[in-house]
Chain A
């Protein structure tokens, strides 16, 4: 690159960690995680298609400790990505872009994501 005088993205190595950047990265990470969940959704529907035996096998796998941990991870990732997605939609309309609103809405999303994930999990397992 000949022109080094152009604007650059922040270099993460010399950047102090803060809520807004962590949440931005987390939005991408939860999105990628949920995309991998598509494989499990496909597996679940295929298992149902193949019959009661493979459907039971899926249930046994999903009720193992690893399966339950992964399912809870997806429930939380969904809650976070859903709520933070709404935050992004508000930003797209030009609102809440000042630092104070970005931090306030950020904390609301982080805390709500755990409350929602817990509520969904309790509702689904009881």
Chain B
């Protein structure tokens, strides 16, 4: 932080709009941005998903090999997991009062969603490539 460096900004100017978490409205705003992005993404993914509920592995590969499905899938996974991590963070901060537990669950939340997001993205990339290699 640049608090010790000389600055033309007054203390009030620095504090205004930042709130107790020193983050301002960034968290709140990103929750809204991701929710707006999820309106079309989740609907598209859900309605394309229902076509393959009872399909076998070959049908699944054919489905996920379509560029629109693969790209929308990756966008949906990244956006929804980000949205979920932000939401879980708020719930934990509101209801978990023991500092150790709070820190542990917040770390698990962020690491878990990053891990799952990378795993899902890698899976969609690999599966859509495999679909094209198999179909020649």
Contacts and interface: CB of A to CB of B under 8 A. Distances in A.
Interface residues of B, number: 31
A45 B57 contact: no
B127 A32 contact: no
B32 to A, nearest CB: 7
A51 interface: yes
Contact of A89 (B35, B54, B120, B123): B35
Interface stretch (B5-13, B15-23, B76-84, B96-104): B76-84
Interface string A72-98: 000000100010011011001000000
Interface residues of A, number: 29
A61 interface: no
Contacts of A34: 84
Contacts of A124: 49-50, 53
Interface in B41-87: 42, 46, 49-50, 53-54, 56-57, 60-61, 64, 77, 80-81, 84-85, 87
- The majority secondary structure among interface residues of chain A is helix
Interface string B92-136: 000000000000000000000100100110011011000000000
Interface string A33-57: 0110011011001101101100110
- The 7 lowest CB-CB distance pairs between A and B, nearest first, are A45-B123, A35-B84, A52-B57, A124-B50, A42-B116, A49-B123, A55-B57
Given A51-B57, A52-B57, 12 more contacts: A32-B88, A32-B91, A35-B88, A38-B116, A45-B124, A48-B123, A48-B127, A82-B42, A86-B39, A89-B35, A120-B50, A124-B50
